[in-house]
Amino acid sequence: MKRSILYISSLLLFAVIFTPEPASAQEFDWRAHIEERTDEIFDQVIEWRRYFHQYPELSNREFETAAYIEEFLTGLGLEVETGIAHTGVVALLEGGQPGPVVGLRADMDALPVQSRVDLPFSPMVTGEYLGEEVPVSHACGHDTHMAMLMGVAQILTEVQEELPGTIKFIFQPAEEGAPPGEEGGAELMVAEGVMENPDLDVVFGQHISSQTPVGQINYRQGGIMAASDRFEITVHGEQTHGSTPWTGIDPITVSAQIINGLNTIVARQTELTKEAAVISVGIIRSGVRNNIIPEKAEMVGTIRTLDTEMQDKIHEDIRRTATKIAESMGATAEVEIFRGYPVTYNDPDLTEEMLPTLQDVAGSDRVVHINPITGAEDFSFFQMEVPGLYYFVGGMDPDMNPADAPPHHTPDFYINEEGMRIGVKSLARLAIDYMLEHQ
């Protein structure tokens, strides 16, 4: 009897020691899977992009775009939620193994810009913007962003059981800004709970670049894109006849001096060795006749900053400069500043941690640390909630001079679709590598 018990015990011990365990997420060859599947489905990624390019929709009006994305994600078997921030679409992919929750974001909206690029899938649609019918095109590459994220969703859903965590695919409307009088974009998505249920641990996003060679990735620790604020200055003078300016107070002359003063804020009062800053007046309105000095003048402009302390200081400098110059000339000035998108701030620790992933995908010599960009991006609202990393992938023909490549938001904007290959691979790898490191 004792021998039987010992024999059975030995067999059980042998079984425990030598029974093979199921393959873990660590053992699954994620790199090979993402590389191979990206190349295999890349024609489909191009097809998705061309659909979005041919049928662009303006901010908060991405109805057909959202329906197309919803149908695709539902077809993958994902849990899909729609109508977030008006037209946003969010899908949840819960992996077969425990791990962190990673957010991946793509923006959806197009611009009121006429496309002059002659392609078989060039847009021929119009939309309403500021009460006028306008041509619409994806002149900033958001069509590629959606297609790349759809590619990532397909590739990772195929191996759901191996996935060490959860991915939230975020398709965001109105990155270019909601229409006047409306809310929208990333800020509204955050307010409506996109970072919750389940709570995100980290968020990744990318932007195609028409002036960066295909195959290159540009990144930066800290502030990579600027905060964007709007200012309005109203100068009140005293109306009089244009032939006798001394009998009134000329608000146009006062405005000219204020503009000169605003330019000295950046040139002489801002520590530019710390970060860049920009103040630009884009609109000035005053007067109705050539021989009447008007009663008031209005200026509207933008402020771009990459540091929150500098941002606050420049706001105060603008108020002081405008009001004091007006006062010195016998006029008064009202200054209003409206905060827009915050600084797009790449968490330094997260950026350092994920840099080897980007280098492995593109090659170390093709991952470039860049100077900050004074354009703005509302991905920053996600980064205010959790650590985030935002980077650029090249979409320019490699043999082209970047100085000759049409910039974003212009009629001649053009993307080489081959650039999306690196975009799909890098976004998928960032999600997986972060999960594996934080299981």
Asked, for residue 14, whether it belongs to a domain, the answer is no
Choose among 112, 137, 114, 145: nearest CA to 53.
137
Q: Is 24 within a domain? A: no
CA distance 171 to 205: 11
Same domain, 187 and 271: no
Q: What is the dihedral of CA 13, 17, 20, 21, to 10 degrees?
A: 100
pLDDT in tens, the chain (439 residues): 444 444 444 444 444 444 444 456 678 999 999 999 999 999 999 999 999 999 999 999 999 999 999 999 999 999 999 999 999 999 999 999 999 999 999 999 999 999 999 999 999 999 999 999 999 999 999 999 999 999 999 999 999 999 999 999 999 999 999 999 999 999 999 999 999 999 999 999 999 999 999 999 999 999 999 999 999 999 999 999 999 999 999 999 999 999 999 999 999 999 999 999 999 999 999 999 999 999 999 999 999 999 999 999 999 999 999 999 999 999 999 999 999 999 999 999 999 999 999 999 999 999 999 999 999 999 999 999 999 999 999 999 999 999 999 999 999 999 999 999 999 999 999 999 999 999 9
**251 and 201 in a common domain:** no
- Is residue 391 part of the annotated active site? The answer reads no
Measured N-to-C along each axis, helices 142-157 and 63-75 cross at an angle, to the nearest 10 degrees, of: 10
Which residue in this structure is represented by tokens 């000329």? 250
Catalytic option among 64, 158, 295, 417: 417
- Same domain assignment for residues 403 and 419: yes
Judge whether 417 counts as a catalytic residue.
yes
Which CATH number covers residue 426?
Answer: 3.40.630.10
Which helix (H) or strand (E) segment is 320 a member of? helix 308-328
Are 243 and 361 in a shared domain? no
- Answer yes or no: pTM beyond 0.85: yes
Final residue in a domain of this structure, among 341, 375, 391: 341
Looking up residue 278, the CATH number of its domain turns out to be 3.30.70.360
Last residue of a domain, which of 341, 374, 390?
341
Q: Please measure the distance between the N-terminal and C-terminal CA atoms of the chain and give it in whole angstroms.
A: 46
Same domain, 303 and 260: yes
Q: Which of 300, 325, 341 is the last residue of a domain?
A: 341
Clarify whether residues 207 and 351 are in a common domain: yes
By residue range, what is the domain housing residue 46?
A: 30-226+343-437
Number of domains in the chain: 2
**Which residues does residue 225 pair with via DSSP β-bridges, in sequence order?**
344, 373
Catalytic one of 68, 341, 391, 414:
341
Q: Is residue 25 part of a domain?
A: no
